[in-house]
A and B are shown apart, each in its own frame.
Chain A
Amino acid sequence: KQEVTQIPAALSVPEGENLVLNCSFTDSAIYNLQWFRQDPGKGLTSLLLIQSSQREQTSGRLNASLDKSSGRSTLYIAASQPGDSATYLCAVYTGANSKLTFGKGITLSVRP
């Protein structure tokens, strides 16, 4: 059974810092990996999708990498801003029906 882990559960950084959020998964037989952002009490906003054949994907200040063999992904946020404060969820696509298995998320607080 696929398990997705995100450690630490929470992170607080000063504005302007570059930071890395980690995600690990137990079964390397994944199709894709997706990073989401969730604001308190709100829905899921897709940030980046990395296909299984890719090693990284970039969007603006965000860069996500994928190492299937080691079961790891990282989300790099450059020059963090207070508006980046949210919970960041990592999820992997597994199985023929491509259901998503989520990690519990990392709650990021960027201090002005």
Chain B
Amino acid sequence: EPEVTQTPSHQVTQMGQEVILRCVPISNHLYFYWYRQILGQKVEFLVSFYNNEISEKSEIFDDQFSVERPDGSNFTLKIRSTKLEDSAMYFCASRRTEYQETQYFGPGTRLLVL
């Protein structure tokens, strides 16, 4: 069964460094999402992406964050200058069509900013 994959599974970085989190959505899916979960807290929506552009972003998704679909298969989340509070599990999700379809989640990347 097709699944969403994410790399790396864990990343440790120094504060102020740039990180890129990678996701490969399910191949015939058209809608892509990033969520994050700070330890002990709710899963929070970051951004949705469709037709090569951001369709919605949350207040968390400030200028330090960007997303890209560079080659038609990968979907990346870049954090330009990491802060301690960016430490979280980051989940990628994808969905085939609008409205009645479930989102499928990847296994997550655990990011630790020191």
Among candidates B41, B56, B99, B107, residue contacting A31 with C-beta atoms closer than 8 Å: B99
Known A-B contacts A44-B91, A102-B42; the reply to A49 vs B102 at CB < 8 A is: yes
Say how far A34's CB is from chain B's closest CB, in angstroms. 6
Q: Is the CB of A44 within 8 A of B44?
A: no
Complex CA gap A99/B61 in Å reads 14
Q: Is the CB of A98 within 8 A of B31?
A: yes
Contacting residues of chain B (46-61) with chain A, CB-CB under 8 angstroms: 48, 50, 55-56
Q: Is the CB of A34 within 8 A of B91?
A: no
Residues of chain A within 8 A of B13, CB atoms compared: none
Q: Is the CB of B42 within 8 A of A98?
A: no
Asked whether any CB of chain B lies closer than 8 Å to the CB of A51, the reply is yes
Among candidates A91, A93, A97, residue contacting B56 with C-beta atoms closer than 8 Å: A97
In the complex, how many residues of chain A place their beta carbon closer than 8 angstroms to a beta carbon of chain B? Answer: 25
Nearest residue in A to B48 (C-beta to C-beta)?
Answer: A97
Q: Which residues of A does B touch, CB under 8 Å?
A: 31-32, 34, 36, 41-44, 46, 49, 51, 89, 91, 93, 95-105
Interface contacts beyond A100-B35, A100-B43, A105-B42: sample of 7 additional A-B pairs, CB < 8 Å, sorted by A: A43-B91, A46-B102, A96-B55, A99-B33, A101-B45, A102-B42, A104-B42
Can you show 19 pairs from A to B with CB atoms below 8 A apart? A32-B100, A32-B102, A34-B103, A42-B107, A43-B108, A44-B43, A44-B105, A46-B105, A93-B99, A96-B55, A97-B31, A97-B56, A98-B95, A98-B98, A98-B99, A98-B103, A99-B33, A102-B42, A105-B42
